[in-house]
Amino acid sequence: MREGDKVPEPKCATVYPHLIHAHAIKTAIRDPTSVLNNLITLYSQSNLLSDAVRLFHQIPSPNVVSWTALISAHAKTRLSLHHFISMLRHPTLPNQRTLASLFKTCASLPHISFGLQLHSLSLKLSLAHLPFSGSALVHLYSRCRLPVEARKVFDEIPLRDEVCYAAIIVGLAQNSRSTDALSLFTDMRSAGIGSTMYSVSGALRAASEVAALEQCRIIHAHAVVIGLDLNIVVGTALVDGYGKSGLVLDAHHVFSALLPDVNIVGWNAMMSGYAQQGDKQSVLELFSRMVDHGFVADDYSFLAILTACSNAGSVPEVQKWLNSMKSDYGLKPGIEHYTCVVGAMARAGQLEEAKHLAMTMPFEPDAAVWRTLLSACAIHGAADMAWVVGQRLLELDSQDDSAYAILANVHATAGRWEEVAQVRKQMKVRRVRKEGGQSWIEVCGEVHVFLAGDRRHERTMEIYAKLTDLMEDVKKLGYVEVSDAMLHEVEAAEKKEALWYHSEKLAVAFALISGAAPPGKPVRVVKNLRICRDCHEAFKYLSRVIEREIVVRDVNRYHRFVNGLCACGDYW
């Protein structure tokens, strides 16, 4: 034969690597080392690692490709790191493919300290800026929750390909840098670099994180154009994106198009979309269909069910499904599952029972558990328990400004002004400042962000004029400002203005004057914090004044205001 370093590949190559090996031995080949390198990779891909290692030791003088094949064969295990040390002692220096495999191993373990040393070595060898090693390094820093470092590595890669862009877009999306991820997706398309299922799904994840509905639709259109809309990874991201944007009908259309190929992740994403809307019936129906299709429910499936039942305040059903998760499916509930049960009990007014469960569950209660209880105490006016639960929460996170606000309000409602003063004093001593609320709304794919009392927008005069008219209209229907304990000592006129010009109210006013919400279409607003009681009350009246639905996605859940009522039942 004269093929040089290539191994013939019969049709049975991936099934019978030993036959390929025997064929290579019988054939006269000029470059046996190259052939053995390929065979090492072939054995490892066939999960025959012992054969791959045995073959490696038969190479008289292994080169960098040989070592890389061995290291890659043990990817995502500590053995690959040990083989790398042996390689350096041989001595043989790595190439960018060697480092790429090692960076992926460090990301999966995770092993950031070894990864930092590899990064240093890659800089010394001028390999950090190459696409293979650079994209793997971006992935490592992203997995280790270091998005700033990941972005720095990406920016230093001069020749970026689709793999590099996919790594940084996915990494930023995973680290809640949604705006940056979407911006880089736009840059990638402008640079003429092709999209992959990873870059598209990463961009969709970023859009869903901020409930950027128009961005989801734009990326969906792009996926259709490039033929990725029916790809399972992209399709599942679309289901998740539309679900988190509040459009469960659109999510269901995408989901249905993926059937019957959709996997368990897709089923869970669809159930989660319904759960966020508090649509318990649809979640349970979908769960039944999933089981009929032969899928076995996992932790996320039950989390969707428990979330939906908790939002509905159905304590018996929550307990039933938690027991089913353990006894029927052999799954061990996590703290997030118990949080749903605590939330259901608290919502139903069973505060003592909810507190007892929080104290006796097989996990140390985290901030989410205590915050759930504290919110319930506020809803039910349980000032005494609110104080105890609030202090527990502040022990875990003394800088949680929302906890102080809820504590102050629940005691103000009970007329306990000494406790309100004590809460304020705690904030002052601990130098806690109430985080500024931000609300945003999309118009033609552009996101407009508002702060409380914001006057930076180019259409500020129109926005404030419209909002004044709206607030006068809701007052005629019976709306009365719901005071905030933090504004107790503020003059009445200032207090009214502070409440009127909250960020979500400004966003709604802008939506109405800008055409962001045409007649008959819902007004959609996203908020970074929990919607305040006054805005919640005002929006119930506003939905009657403007005769359309108002959808607000706050940090806790979706609120759908229709004809004077909210789907949350005034509990959030």
Q: Which long-range CB contacts under 8 A does 516-521 form with residues at least 24 apart? A: 516/441, 516/442, 516/443, 517/548, 519/548, 520/548, 521/548
| Distance from C-alpha of 99 to C-alpha of 77, rounded to nearest angstrom | 14
Closest CA to 435 of 562, 330, 555: 555
pTM: predicted TM-score of the whole model, two decimal places? 0.80
Band (pLDDT 50/70/90 cuts) for residue 7 is very low
Q: What is the structure's pLDDT at 223?
A: 95
Answer yes or no: are the C-beta atoms of 190 and 222 closer than 8 Å: no
Q: What is the structure's pLDDT at 400?
A: 86
Q: What is the structure's pLDDT at 361?
A: 94
Band (pLDDT 50/70/90 cuts) for residue 20 is low
Cβ neighbours, 10 Å, residue 64: 16
User: Where is average pLDDT lowest: 25-29, 155-159, 264-268?
Assistant: 25-29
Q: pLDDT at residue 295 above 70? A: yes
Q: What is the structure's pLDDT at 84?
A: 95
Q: What is the structure's pLDDT at 490?
A: 44
**What does pLDDT average to over the chain?**
87
What mean pLDDT comes out for the span 89-109? 93
Handedness of CA 156, 161, 164, 170 (dihedral sign): positive
What mean pLDDT comes out for the span 467-496? 72
pLDDT in tens, 43-67: 777 777 777 788 888 888 889 999 9
Q: What share of the chain has pLDDT > 70, as a percent?
A: 91
Q: What share of the chain has pLDDT > 90, as a percent?
A: 57
pLDDT in tens, 216-239: 999 999 999 999 999 999 999 999
Q: What is the structure's pLDDT at 3?
A: 37
Q: What is the structure's pLDDT at 277?
A: 81
Q: What is the structure's pLDDT at 496?
A: 59
| Distance from C-alpha of 374 to C-alpha of 389, rounded to nearest angstrom | 6
Q: pLDDT at residue 13 above 50? A: no
Q: What is the structure's pLDDT at 533?
A: 85
Domain boundaries, the chain: 366-435, 440-566
CATH topology of domain 366-435: 1.25.40
pLDDT in tens, 319-363: 999 999 999 999 999 999 999 999 999 988 899 999 999 999 999
| Distance from C-alpha of 409 to C-alpha of 383, rounded to nearest angstrom | 10
